[in-house]
């Protein structure tokens, strides 16, 4: 089992390697891949050193699976070439997510849609992943009509440059690299990605469109506001869900408690609720503040938190690979 990690020296690629090691993924050969400027650098994996190679070398090595985290342009150019060489590509960029010929997968939610013929598989947006993990069991039980979500997203979702900007601002350094148009420390920026013609950002539209595709139900109405905040542990979401059918709050908690990949932290008497610092470096989706919306019938409020670099990116990618191996789809 030869595994290539494309973008191995980047923020998400580094976490992918960590997750592969932690979960003891059954690989026999690791192929770290990065841009030409990183070729020859060594990365450590399970106590061994592996030299970074370029795209052409990796394609020629014909890996069984390639985990991509190198940006949309790179994925559009190279994912088909890996696929032509017989490699199954799991891509973490937005390049293939809404392509009707490609599967968009969160294993706990819709892993069953995968087949041996899928050679390019899309990993969803980080904010979408954590939300649908919590929504799917509730949709199965009560049928979701509408979702209103506001996100509070970590600077790590932007990358190393954003983390550097925030830490520089905390130290009073004003001439460092700027990932955002405004200061992020002691601030909140109500824009993630560029604005589209309808006034929503691309990030907001990703959540709207991807949720329907993953859930397999275009009737679900979704509206989103995505916001960048100065934290590093993970993304948080305030989610308001209108169901077709009424529900019992205790039953909702019970359903979520029994959902694989979800941890319910909802004990307001003891001030227990999910926070990014609790989700940091964890693979689960944390859900709390579960309560009835008293302004609308059949409507629920929840607070959802997850580490955006792990379940929101690297871990979900590796879990797709694990699913493929377990179902003998490779």
Q: Which residues are annotated as a binding site for NADP(+)?
A: 9-12, 37-38, 177, 308
Q: Is 235 a catalytic residue?
A: yes
Binding residues for substrate, as ranges, are 153, 228
Q: Rounded to an integer, what distance in angstroms lies between the CA atom of residue 25 and that of residue 28?
A: 9
Please say whether the dihedral angle defined by the alpha carbons of residues 16, 22, 24 and 28, taken in this order, is positive or negative: positive
Rg (CA), the chain: 20
Number of CB atoms found within 10 A of residue 241's CB:
25
In degrees and rounded to multiples of 5, residue 295 shows phi and psi of -95, -10
Tokens read off for 101:
């010929």
Classify 142 as helix, strand or coil: helix
* Residue 306 β-bridge partners: 235
Binding residues, as ranges, are 9-12, 37-38, 97, 153, 177, 228, 308
Which residue in 112, 139, 235, 280 is the catalytic one? 235
Q: Please tell me the number of Cα atoms within 13 Å of 159 on its side-chain side.
A: 13
Which residue in 112, 126, 139, 280 is the catalytic one? 126
Alpha helices in the chain (DSSP H): 11-22, 55-60, 72-84, 107-110, 126-142, 160-171, 202-215, 249-257, 276-279, 315-326
Binding residues for phosphate, as ranges, are 97
Q: List b or e across 272-281, with b for residues whose CB sees 16 or more CB atoms inside 10 angstroms.
A: ebbbbebbbe
* Residue 115 β-bridge partners: none
Q: Is 112 a catalytic residue?
A: no
Ramachandran category for residue 158: left, alpha or beta (phi over 0 → left; psi -120 to 50 → alpha): alpha
Residue with tokens 């070398």: 57
Max CA separation in the chain (angstroms): 60
Q: Rounded to an integer, what distance in angstroms lies between the CA atom of residue 56 and that of residue 17?
A: 21
Give me the active site residues, please.
126, 235
């Amino acid at each position: 089992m030869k595994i290539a990690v494309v973008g191995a020296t980047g923020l998400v690629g580094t976490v992918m390697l960590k997750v592969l090691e932690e979960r003891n993924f059954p690989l026999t050969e690791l192929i770290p891949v990065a841009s030409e400027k990183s070729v020859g650098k060594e990365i450590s994996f399970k106590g061994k050193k592996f030299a970074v190679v370029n795209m052409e070398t990796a394609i020629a090595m014909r890996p069984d699976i390639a985990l991509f985290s190198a940006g949309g342009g790179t994925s559009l150019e190279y994912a088909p070439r890996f696929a032509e060489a017989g490699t199954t590509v799991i891509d973490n960029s937005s390049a293939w997510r809404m392509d009707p010929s490609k599967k968009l997968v969160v294993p706990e939610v819709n892993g069953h849609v995968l087949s041996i013929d899928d050679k390019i598989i899309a990993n969803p947006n980080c904010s979408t992943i954590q939300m649908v993990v919590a929504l799917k069991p509730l949709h199965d039980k009560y049928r979701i009509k509408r979702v209103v979500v506001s996100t509070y997203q970590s600077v790590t979702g932007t990358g190393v440059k954003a983390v550097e900007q925030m830490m520089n601002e905390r130290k009073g350094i004003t001439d460092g690299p700027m990932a955002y148009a405004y200061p992020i420390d002691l601030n909140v920026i109500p824009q993630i990605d560029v604005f589209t013609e309808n006034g929503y950002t691309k990030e907001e539209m990703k959540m709207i469109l991807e949720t329907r595709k993953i859930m397999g139900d275009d009737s679900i109405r979704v509206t989103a506001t995505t916001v960048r905040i100065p934290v590093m542990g993970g993304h948080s979401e305030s989610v308001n869900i209108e169901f077709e059918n009424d529900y019992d709050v205790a039953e909702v908690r019970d359903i979520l408690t029994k959902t694989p990949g979800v941890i319910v932290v909802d004990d307001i008497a003891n001030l227990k609720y999910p926070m990014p610092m609790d989700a940091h470096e964890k693979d689960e989706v944390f859900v709390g503040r579960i309560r009835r919306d008293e302004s609308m019938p059949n409507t629920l409020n929840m607070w959802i938190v997850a580490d955006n670099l792990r379940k929101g990116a690297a871990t979900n990618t590796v879990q797709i690979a694990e699913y493929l191996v377990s179902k003998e789809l490779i």
